[in-house]
């Protein structure tokens, strides 16, 4: 029922766009053409800034590259606009790749700062290049035509723009609901989780960045052939800021936000251009003042933008439709025989300045055993887990997993090799559903690429992945809540969700950092049963935990750490009787 | 390029580089203590130069109106906030800080305009008029967002620049100005001639850089700023009021901006929007320094000045492209230099609804 109603909202929107030319005059339709064109570029920013968290002030520069590419080709060489389109897209993709490789590895604020720099550099480049008409730009650009069918008229091109915009939005929508789309959505909120899921965060960032640039290039192509003129001032840094304003006004995390934001800003500009000249002779400047102030107020008061506010009054679309039937995903072959070492740590040392958090620790974890890693607070347990999973690199020592040295591998390669983990401080994506969070764990087991996701060619694999994710959710007792947002769970259940996500990766070695903290008694029992189950199915588990009852009843062997060194290793009963261990925990009872 | 020209260009480059050093120090100072990448900083530099130019031309500086506008907004915001929180007894103090103190120098400038001011009077007036701009901007735009992420703060900074540059054209007009030189002396050092202006600029940069260093090393306020930069939560726990350190940082940076503007005024013709580019070039210098270290920032800013000087000799039309374009290889190099390090974990702010 809900699904039908949200479809209805979408159909009404499409119908309104379709009948608009019959209702409005050509001035309004021209305005709508520009709204559509800006919406394409803003859509790129929605993906990049709103969803992936990469801020760019240079989107207008990419629009400019697309516009100038087609303008140069069609004006100076008399070429076809269609070849111009290919040229525009190829050039924006190329420039974006180069800039992306240079800046996307650097954290946080370097990217937006460098987008300001290249936005300005490109403006001056356009303005000082003879072949591009210097500051007077290029004029006489031909309109778009397919054979005899010309898109010169306002209404003809209106349908063309909005059809393309509709298709592009649909593709983006599909993409976000696919394997790579989930990887994009999980970029925001820190790379530690992303890399632990075997997702190459740099590659995904680069892909989003290039995708956003392609949308800008497409927007630029339309712009050039409709305006029939391009000049550097149209693509300067102010234009880039305006595009960002569109994306944020609309609601930076929302695909529909691109259209809403583009409409609001374009219409507001139009009104200001009518009203301001009556008040002041500096109307162009007051426009900037008004936009700047609106921008600041928006970020102070309503950072989510307009679309989320509207959405409250609309039915929430049913997401994550469950598969009826699906063939199961292939499982990992576990080659190690029981008793054979799956993980061997040899003399691992990690120093932070003068403090040796982990000091010459050596032990082995054997196939199909549950190893408990215990010790007082600050003993170095979590640091050791970070060494195993590659988040930190040891100063000396080696770590061997299934016969391969993984000491120097990045976390994502270790994860891909079959080590899955949970975090001491829960790392989930609170704005994604439980199912989507678990699906993140399946990333490394599936193959679908960006194009397959956008074109829905991934449905068979996607169904199998969803069936698997649901299965893992049921195993930890969260099967009924698959559609809820992860942020709405209490802390204990968030830990269970992390366990489900780790299991979804079908790991050989499962690394759990305090999984029982914050769990209620019954939940602890369920978790304990689940871990026993996993052991009989052939999984190897390392467990850091403070709840001694939980540890003693579950694990096969225990390693005790204190002040960074291994204090003892043995069977639970022997550890319980060990005097040094008692002293470490209770502080010199003897 | 003959050796004489090379030397001349180097001298030019070091002079502008020294000004970029002061601007970049202000940027890094604000960033480290408040996490705000203060994009309008360059605008403030430009306004300082334009203020001095206007005073020399016996006109009322546009800055007067700018400061009055900002002070009015800040006062309204502050008084409204205090009233809503039922803290009406703090209103007189707010009026002092946000209305009286900023308006006093602006009023002085208003009254002084039209007289033939000597240099020793014009400079302090300029300095005092410009000083409140950054702290007022902080109060209006950034303080309500103290806990937002660096990216949100950056977007706000860009929006503030957008609004500010719009106002600047209204207040300053479209024409360019150049202030009278601070000194017309020239010195011969061996085969080359050095202008007194250059020496003055480099010396001022050195002196103010040193003062900044002493402030951080020797004063409690300076140490509080450093502590905030290292760990915000920790600083709070030992009783450092973050909004106070932030206000101090913006005030200090504003002083650096005013000095930079006064120094750059005689070197080049400035328009209402020239400051933005000066600020961005200083940013490039600060980025070369990685936005974290004061000494590296100094080296980076001087490199930008030198690069710009040689670039303008080689192709003056494309010098901006060269300066800003050079950022890409620099970032590429930094990107590979930091590779293999610890994966940084920037936690984003919560509470934004998404699909």
Nearest CA in chain A to B168: A285
Enumerate the residues of chain B whose CB falls inside 8 A of the CB of residue A308.
Answer: 353
Angle subtended by helix axes B242-264 and B3-34, to nearest 10: 160
**Which of the listed residues A504, A523, A547 is the one where a domain comes to its end?**
A504
Same domain assignment for residues A406 and A534: yes
Residue ranges covered by each domain of chain B: 3-182+196-335
Same domain assignment for residues A76 and A144: yes
The DSSP secondary structure of A14-32, one letter per residue, reads: HHHHHHHHHHS-HHHHHHH
Q: Render pLDDT for B249-283 as a digit per residue (tens, 0 to 9).
A: 999 999 999 999 999 988 888 988 889 889 989 98
Inter-chain contact A188–B167, Cβ cutoff 8 Å? no
Asked whether residue A129 is assigned to any structural domain, the reply reads yes
DSSP 3-state of A445: helix
Q: Which domain holds residue A582?
A: 338-418+507-590
Say how far residue A360 (Cα) sits from the centre of its chain: 37
d(CA A32, CA A282): 26
Complex-level ipTM: 0.82
Q: How confident is the model at residue B346 (pLDDT cuts 50, 70, 90)?
A: very low
- Which 8-state DSSP code applies to residue A316? P
Q: Report residue B167 as tokens.
A: 């106002």
**Which of the listed residues A444, A476, A504 is the one where a domain comes to its end?**
A504
Mutate to test the interface with B, among A121, A176, A413 (most CBs of B within 10 A): A121
Look at residue A321 in the predicted model and tell me its pLDDT. 60
d(CA A555, CA A571): 9
d(CA A113, CA B24): 14
Q: How confident is the model at residue B340 (pLDDT cuts 50, 70, 90)?
A: very low
The DSSP secondary structure of A50-62, one letter per residue, reads: IIT----S-HHHH
Q: How confident is the model at residue A323 (pLDDT cuts 50, 70, 90)?
A: low
Mutate to test the interface with B, among A289, A294, A312, A407 (most CBs of B within 10 A): A289
* Range with lowest mean pLDDT among A451-455, A465-469, B76-80, B111-115: B111-115
| Cβ within 8 Å of residue A69, ≥6 positions away | A84, A87, A88, A91, A92, A217, A220
Same domain assignment for residues A406 and A436: no
Q: How confident is the model at residue A558 (pLDDT cuts 50, 70, 90)?
A: very high
Task: Say yes or no to pLDDT of B155 above 90.
Answer: no
Task: Say yes or no to pLDDT of A230 above 50.
Answer: yes
B contact residues 222-241, partner A, Cβ 8 Å cutoff: none
Asked whether residue A326 is assigned to any structural domain, the reply reads no
d(CA A137, CA A224): 11
Inter-chain contact B287–A113, Cβ cutoff 8 Å? yes
Determine phi and psi for B321, rounding to 5 degrees.
-60, -40
Look at residue B349 in the predicted model and tell me its pLDDT. 35
Same domain assignment for residues A495 and A407: no
Q: What is the mean pLDDT of chain A?
A: 89
DSSP 3-state of B66: helix
Look at residue B88 in the predicted model and tell me its pLDDT. 84
What is the rounded average pLDDT of the residues B16-29? 90
Look at residue B348 in the predicted model and tell me its pLDDT. 39
Q: Give the other-Cβ count within 10 Å of A471's Cβ.
A: 16
Task: Say yes or no to pLDDT of A240 above 70.
Answer: yes
Asked whether residue A529 is assigned to any structural domain, the reply reads yes
Inter-chain contact A241–B355, Cβ cutoff 8 Å? no
DSSP 3-state of B35: coil
Q: Which of A221, A89, A92, A72 is nearest to A151 (CA)?
A: A221
Do residues A242 and A233 make contact, with C-beta atoms less than 8 angstroms apart?
Answer: no
How many helices (H) and strands (E) would you count in chain B? 16, 2
The DSSP secondary structure of A457-510, one letter per residue, reads: TTHHHHHHHHHHHHHHHHHTT-GGGTTSBGGGS-HHHHHHHHHHHHHHT--SEE
Same domain assignment for residues A377 and A229: no
Q: How large is the greatest C-alpha to C-alpha distance in chain B, in angstroms?
A: 71
What is the rounded average pLDDT of the residues A449-457? 93
Q: Report the number of distinct structural domains present in chain A.
A: 3
Task: Say yes or no to pLDDT of A284 above 50.
Answer: yes
Say whether residue B146 is in contact with chain A using an 8 A CB cutoff.
Answer: no
Cβ burial of A158 (10 Å; 0-12, 13-18, 19+) is buried
Q: Render pLDDT for A144-153 as a digit per residue (tens, 0 to 9).
A: 988 788 888 8
Say whether residue A128 is in contact with chain B using an 8 A CB cutoff.
Answer: yes
A360 sits in which H/E element: strand A355-366
Q: How confident is the model at residue A194 (pLDDT cuts 50, 70, 90)?
A: very high
Same domain assignment for residues A386 and A450: no
Percent of chain B with pLDDT over 90: 30
Look at residue B353 in the predicted model and tell me its pLDDT. 30
Q: Which residue among B141, B155, B329 sits closest to A244, beta carbon to beta carbon? A: B155
Task: Say yes or no to pLDDT of B334 above 60.
Answer: yes
Is the pTM higher than 0.80? The answer reads yes
Mutate to test the interface with B, among A46, A96, A102 (most CBs of B within 10 A): A102
Say whether residue B277 is in contact with chain A using an 8 A CB cutoff.
Answer: yes
Same domain assignment for residues A124 and A19: yes
Nearest CA in chain A to B156: A296
d(CA B128, CA A45): 41
Q: Render pLDDT for A384-441 as a digit per residue (tens, 0 to 9).
A: 999 999 999 999 999 999 999 999 999 999 999 999 999 988 999 998 999 999 999 9
Do residues A505 and A516 make contact, with C-beta atoms less than 8 angstroms apart?
Answer: no
Q: Report residue A299 as tokens.
A: 């970020």
Inter-chain contact B283–A287, Cβ cutoff 8 Å? no
Look at residue A445 in the predicted model and tell me its pLDDT. 92
Q: Render pLDDT for B198-236 as a digit per residue (tens, 0 to 9).
A: 888 999 989 988 898 898 888 888 888 888 877 778 888
Look at residue A317 in the predicted model and tell me its pLDDT. 60
Same domain assignment for residues A73 and A154: yes
Look at residue A466 in the predicted model and tell me its pLDDT. 92
Asked whether residue A528 is assigned to any structural domain, the reply reads yes
Nearest CA in chain B to A430: B350
Q: How confident is the model at residue A509 (pLDDT cuts 50, 70, 90)?
A: very high
| Cβ within 8 Å of residue B220, ≥6 positions away | none
Task: Say yes or no to pLDDT of A318 above 80.
Answer: no
Percent of chain A with pLDDT over 90: 55
Look at residue B354 in the predicted model and tell me its pLDDT. 30
Task: Say yes or no to pLDDT of A2 above 80.
Answer: no
Inter-chain contact B166–A303, Cβ cutoff 8 Å? no
d(CA A147, CA A145): 6
Q: Render pLDDT for A359-370 as a digit per residue (tens, 0 to 9).
A: 999 999 999 999
Q: How confident is the model at residue B130 (pLDDT cuts 50, 70, 90)?
A: very high
Same domain assignment for residues A151 and A210: yes
Asked whether residue A424 is assigned to any structural domain, the reply reads no
Look at residue A588 in the predicted model and tell me its pLDDT. 56
Determine phi and psi for B2, rounding to 5 degrees.
-80, 160
Look at residue B343 in the predicted model and tell me its pLDDT. 37
d(CA A117, CA A111): 10
What is the rounded average pLDDT of the residues B53-61? 90
Look at residue A416 in the predicted model and tell me its pLDDT. 93
d(CA B332, CA B343): 17
**Which of the listed residues A467, A483, A504 is the one where a domain comes to its end?**
A504
Work out whether strand A419-421 and strand A509-513 pair parallel, antiparallel, or are unpaired.
parallel
Q: What is the mean pLDDT of chain B?
A: 85
Same domain assignment for residues A115 and A238: yes
DSSP 3-state of B107: helix
Going along A95-227, which residue ranges are E strands? 138-139, 145-146, 149-150
Same domain assignment for residues A72 and A109: yes
Do residues A366 and A340 make contact, with C-beta atoms less than 8 angstroms apart?
Answer: yes
Same domain assignment for residues A137 and A12: yes
Look at residue A319 in the predicted model and tell me its pLDDT. 55
Asked whether residue A370 is assigned to any structural domain, the reply reads yes
């Amino acid at each position: 029922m809900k699904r039908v109603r949200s479809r209805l909202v979408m159909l009404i929107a499409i119908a309104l766009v379709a009948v608009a030319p019959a209702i409005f005059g050509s001035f309004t339709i021209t305005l709508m053409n520009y709204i559509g064109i800006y919406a394409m570029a803003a859509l790129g920013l929605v993906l990049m800034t709103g969803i992936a968290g990469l801020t760019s002030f240079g989107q207008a520069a990419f629009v400019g590259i697309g516009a100038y590419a087609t303008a140069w080709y069609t004006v100076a060489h008399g070429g076809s606009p269609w070849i111009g389109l290919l040229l525009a897209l190829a050039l924006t993709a190329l420039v974006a790749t180069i800039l992306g490789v240079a800046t996307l590895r650097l954290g946080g604020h370097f990217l937006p700062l460098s987008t300001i720099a290249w936005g300005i550099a490109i403006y001056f480049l356009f303005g000082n290049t003879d072949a591009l008409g210097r500051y007077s730009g290029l004029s006489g650009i031909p309109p778009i035509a397919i054979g005899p069918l010309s898109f010169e008229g306002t209404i003809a091109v209106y349908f063309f723009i909005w059809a393309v915009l509709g298709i592009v939005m649909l593709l983006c929508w599909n993409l976000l609901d696919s394997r790579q789309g989930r990887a994009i959505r999980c970029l925001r909120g820190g790379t530690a989780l992303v890399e632990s899921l075997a997702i190459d965060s740099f590659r995904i960032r680069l892909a989003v960045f290039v995708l956003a640039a392609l949308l800008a290039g497409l927007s630029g192509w339309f712009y050039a052939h409709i305006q029939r003129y391009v000049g550097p001032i149209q693509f300067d840094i102010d234009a880039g800021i305006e595009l960002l304003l569109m994306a944020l006004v609309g609601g930076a995390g929302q695909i529909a936000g691109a259209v809403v934001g583009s409409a609001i800003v374009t219409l507001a500009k139009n009104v200001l251009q009518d009203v301001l000249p009556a008040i002041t002779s500096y109307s162009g400047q007051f426009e900037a003042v008004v936009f700047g102030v609106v921008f600041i107020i928006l970020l102070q008061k309503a950072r989510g933008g307009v679309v989320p506010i509207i959405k409250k009054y609309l039915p929430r679309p049913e997401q994550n439709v469950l598969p009826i039937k699906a063939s199961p995903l292939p499982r990992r072959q576990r080659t190690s025989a029981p008793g054979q070492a799956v993980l061997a740590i040899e003399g691992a040392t990690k120093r932070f300045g003068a403090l040796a958090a982990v000091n010459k620790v050596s032990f082995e974890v054997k196939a199909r055993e549950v190893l408990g890693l215990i010790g007082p607070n600050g003993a170095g347990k979590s640091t050791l887990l970070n060494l195993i999973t590659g988040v930190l690199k040891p100063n000396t020592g080696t770590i061997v997993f299934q016969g391969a040295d993984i000491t120097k591998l990045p976390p994502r390669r270790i994860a891909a090799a079959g080590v899955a983990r949970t975090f001491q401080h829960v790392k989930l994506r609170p704005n994604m559903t439980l199912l989507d969070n678990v699906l993140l764990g399946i990333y490394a087991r599936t193959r679908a690429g960006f194009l397959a996701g956008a074109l829905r060619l991934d449905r068979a694999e996607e169904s199998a992945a969803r069936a698997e994710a649901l299965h893992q959710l049921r195993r930890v007792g969260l099967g009924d809540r698959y559609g809820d947002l992860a942020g709405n769970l209490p802390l204990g259940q968030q830990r269970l969700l992390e366990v489900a996500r780790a299991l979804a990766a079908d790991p050989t070695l499962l690394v759990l950092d305090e999984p029982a903290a914050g769990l209620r008694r019954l939940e602890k029992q369920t978790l304990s049963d689940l871990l026993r189950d996993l052991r009989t199915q052939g999984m190897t588990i390392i467990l850091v935990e403070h709840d001694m009852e939980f540890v003693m009843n579950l694990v096969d062997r225990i390693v005790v750490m204190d002040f960074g060194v291994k204090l003892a290793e043995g069977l639970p009963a022997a550890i319980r009787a060990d005097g040094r261990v008692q002293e470490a925990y209770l502080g010199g009872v003897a | 390029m003959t050796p004489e020209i090379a030397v001349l260009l180097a001298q030019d480059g070091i002079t502008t580089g020294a000004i970029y050093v002061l601007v970049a120090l202000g940027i890094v100072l604000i960033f480290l203590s408040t996490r705000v990448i203060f994009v309008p900083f360059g605008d403030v530099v430009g306004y300082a130069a334009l203020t001095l130019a206007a005073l020399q031309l016996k006109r009322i500086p546009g800055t007067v109106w700018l400061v009055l506008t900002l002070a009015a907004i800040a006062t309204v915001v502050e008084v409204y906030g205090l009233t809503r929180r039922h803290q009406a007894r703090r209103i007189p103090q707010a009026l002092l800080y946000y209305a009286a103190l900023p308006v006093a120098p602006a009023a002085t400038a208003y009254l002084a305009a039209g007289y033939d001011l000597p240099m020793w009077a014009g400079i302090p007036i300029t300095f005092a008029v410009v000083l409140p701009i950054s702290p007022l901007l902080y109060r209006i735009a950034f303080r309500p967002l103290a806990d937002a992420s660096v990216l949100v703060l950056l977007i706000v900074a860009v929006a503030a620049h957008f609004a500010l540059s719009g106002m600047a054209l209204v207040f300053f007009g479209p024409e360019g100005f150049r202030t009278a030189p601070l000194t017309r002396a020239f010195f011969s050092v061996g085969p080359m001639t050095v202008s007194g202006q250059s020496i003055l600029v480099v010396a001022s940069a050195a002196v103010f850089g040193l003062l900044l260093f002493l402030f951080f090393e020797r004063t409690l306020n300076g140490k509080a700023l450093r502590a905030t930069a290292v760990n915000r939560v920790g600083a709070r726990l030992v009783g450092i009021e973050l909004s106070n350190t932030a206000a101090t940082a913006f005030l200090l940076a504003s002083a650096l901006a005013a000095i930079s503007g006064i120094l750059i005024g005689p070197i080049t013709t400035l328009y209402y929007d020239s400051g933005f580019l000066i600020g961005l070039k200083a940013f490039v210098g600060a980025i070369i320094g990685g936005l974290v270290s004061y000494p590296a920032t100094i080296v980076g800013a001087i490199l930008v000045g030198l690069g710009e000087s040689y670039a303008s000799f080689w192709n003056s039309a494309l010098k901006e492209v060269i300066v800003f374009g050079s950022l890409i290889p620099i970032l590429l190099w930094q990107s590979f230099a930091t590779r293999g390090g610890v994966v940084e974990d920037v936690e984003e702010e919560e509470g934004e609804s998404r699909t």
